[in-house]
Structure 1
């Protein structure tokens, strides 16, 4: 009886040790970091440009971008001591002719879409995206989130 308990505890200890090794391996660590801070943004990529703009504008906090065709990005970035930049990007989409439950809601969505299109035409381009003022970006991102939730609930 005692021998079985010892074997079971050794199997459990071995399993825990293997899990610990797997978590500290390079791939698993990268996956954990991706989940916590986002992907590594490599220099010369559009993702790196967006991340650096986020760091310069808001210290890496929520920074909003649009492509002018209904796409809104919420970018958060973090720069580590070794120089790596990790970035998290959340995308939402505002359809051009989206119809809400009320006429006023539909007009508000259309106005948001048109405002994004106008800002994308006149603003500074970073790749295919334009930096949005935080107030406009936050409102547009919330609008896109609300639309996504409404579509998901149907």
Structure 2
């Protein structure tokens, strides 16, 4: 299989990589960059566990070929924390007990971040819409919605 040269900016760092023509962004993130916070769930774009932000849009990384995002800016869950500590979304998820088994959490955080980056004062319905592509089997969703509202109040709005 032929290898393609790609350049990505992931969590603020520049990478020059060689990827297979059919290599998924999810695999590049987890295997080449060793950023394992992004999870593989369903592998068909239904669960949201693999959500990352590509050029300011939340995307299911299992459904995108790495070659398709050559030159893009990507944020994974590892990109949330800064030198000053946890991101307000991470703090809110902890405070509102929106994390149980934790498998869906990276995707939920990234979908919420994409929302708050474009809409710092979302309504409850806008939050629900932004998160509808992310499945959670543990929390019942209310704590997650509460956490996004809290983060919006503290950070966004």
| More RCO (CA 8 Å, sep 6+) | 2
Indicate the structure with greater helix content: 1
TM-score, length of structure 2 as denominator length? 0.31
TM-score, length of structure 1 as denominator length? 0.32
